[in-house]
Amino acid sequence: MRPDPVMGGPYLFYAEGGESMAAPANFMAQDDYLVTQAELLTDLDRKTLVYLYQPLIGAVASALYGSLWAQVKQHPMFTQDRRAHTNLLATLAISLDELYDARVRLEAVGLIKTYTQFDTARHYVYEMYAPLRPEEFFADDLFSVALYDTVGEERYREISASFTVTPVRRSDMHDISKKFTDVFHVTAEVTAAPATVREVRTATTRPAKPAVAISKNHVDWELLTRQLDHVGLADGQLAAHQHAITQIAGFYGLGTSSLSRLIERSLDLLTGEISEARLRREAEQTYSKPGTSRLHATSAAIAAAKVAHEQTEPEAATTPTQADTPKFSAAELTVLQQAKTLPTREFLEVTKKAKDPNMFVADNERFAVEGLLERNVFNTATLNVLVYYVLQNRASISAAYLNSVANGWIRDKVDTPEKALVEIQNFKAGNAAKSGQGHRRSNYGRQQRKEPVPDWAKADYKAPTGPISDSAKKAIAEARARLQNSGKGDS
């Protein structure tokens, strides 16, 4: 069973445990912290935080971000500007656990990065990042779908309308704006910027924002260890089975709380050891049990996948040769979104049922996909696109064919879901070109053999007329004699 949902739409985004995350033992109210900023923050950022981010992270995390923002100094002094976390707790009137939960939510959406160090005592540095610009937020699959899932369609449209502008688009108007050189006279050709300009340019370059994406193979080992303290788990078992646990969590999209319950049920009560085979069975049985939340999410995903499956001919132009700027049809974009948001087990089921509601995931298919996942040659989203490709061509998945396609993708350096879709486009384009060449081959791929056709068997053959020559009469007599002699030998 998955963690309790905190967002109720068809994609069902979840927060671990459904409640505030407890602060770790080494995070204390007396610890000092310092606030720095990686980017300049503007009034637009404040509006973006309230309207776009706050529905996702909650009011406490939003208030924490605002408080940290107010404490930012342009050039902070590491020793003089440090203060204890008790100041934040008093300002926000929250507990230490609530502060920690708000902090990790800000980290999760890329608004802050947290650094820690221990000299005479432990202290933290909170590096602040500006929210995404509204157009970047709405263009991001993860953020835009999460917001839609949280606030609903009507409110989503209202929010997006407050960030849209109306530029001049009338066709009967003419652009008479002046260019820079029309107004300013450049006395010399600008070939190289002065050293000071280059230094300032480097200093004011925006740093890369923290990456925000779904990582289905992430396990909070510290929290998992705490949750399993009371179950009699033998020492070193989590470390010994770390790879298998990570893959199972990613394959089924398990949160830490759900994972701890499955591990507890897979323990040998006498030895306290984890049985990987039993853990996999428990995960599959738990996934397969009827559950309202999962079935709701899956049914919505199946409906979207069914539309994508039925749109076999893309309605938008594709350019498979341009791997850097690929163009995808609406159906392909649906596949891409589901590949990035669904765990592999659910994506496998969704893709099969999109073809036919009565189809099911057989054990051998699940084993084949799990086996490839364990090799760790693709990230989850790319593996999902591979599953989609195989099921477009076949009714079921075999390990041999799946691994054959996977090896081809590895050879071609396919390491993202976008590249995977481009690879599929290239393959389809290549097949179309080959079929247009008109080569006729047998079922085994060999060139068909052409037998010589005698003149008399041709459609336009006409029998000769006129008297028969002596040589022809002699040849006929000899052939008749041979036939008669052969008949006598048989009798």
Note the pLDDT tens digit of each residue in 149-158: 888 889 999 9
Do the strands 112-118 and 83-84 form a parallel or antiparallel pair, or are they unpaired?
unpaired
Strand 32-37 versus strand 122-128 pairing type: parallel
What lies within 8 Å, CB to CB, of 440 at 6+ separation is 447, 448
Are 251 and 345 in contact by the 8 Å Cβ rule? The answer is: yes
Q: What is the pLDDT of residues 382-435, one digit of tens each?
A: 999 999 999 888 888 988 989 889 998 999 888 888 998 888 888 877 766 655
- Those residues of the chain that have pLDDT short of 50 are 1-10, 12, 14, 16-18, 214, 216, 292-297, 312-324, 438-446, 491
**225 closest CA partner among 194, 263, 189:** 263
Burial of residue 85 (CB within 10 Å: 0-12, 13-18, 19+) is buried
**Cβ(147)–Cβ(52) under 8 Å?**
yes
Please name every residue paired with 167 in a beta bridge, in sequence order, or none if there are none: none
* Residue 198: both structure tokens together: 């280059």
Show Cβ contacts of residue 223 under 8 Å, excluding neighbours closer than 6 positions.
16, 21, 256
What does the pLDDT read at residue 319? 41
Q: What is the pLDDT of residue 13?
A: 52
3-state DSSP call for residue 444?
coil
Rounded to two decimals, the pTM is 0.46
Question: The tokens 């080959």 sit on which residue?
Answer: 434
Q: Which residue has the tokens 């540095």?
A: 125
Residue 36's DSSP bridge partners are 127
Distance of CA 138 to the CA centre of its chain: 17
CA-CA distances (angstroms) from residue 217 to 164, 213, 243, 299, 345? 36, 12, 10, 24, 13
Q: Which residues contact 441 (CB under 8 A, 6 or more apart)?
A: 447, 448
Start-to-end CA distance of the chain, whole Å, equals 85
Beta carbons of 260 and 227 less than 8 angstroms apart: yes
Enter the tokens of residue 423: 């690879």
Question: How many C-beta atoms lie closer than 10 Å to residue 55's C-beta?
Answer: 19
Matching residue, tokens 């060449």? 437
| Phi (first) and psi of residue 58, to 5 degrees | 95, 165
Cα(129)–Cα(415) distance, integer angstroms = 28
pLDDT at 315: 42
Q: In what order do the strands lie in the sheet with 122-128?
A: 83-84, 32-37, 122-128, 112-118
What is the SS3 assignment for 175? coil
Distance CA 44, CA 42 (A): 5
Query: What SS3 class is residue 97?
Result: helix
The residue type of 199 is E
- Residue 160's H or E segment, with its range, is helix 153-161
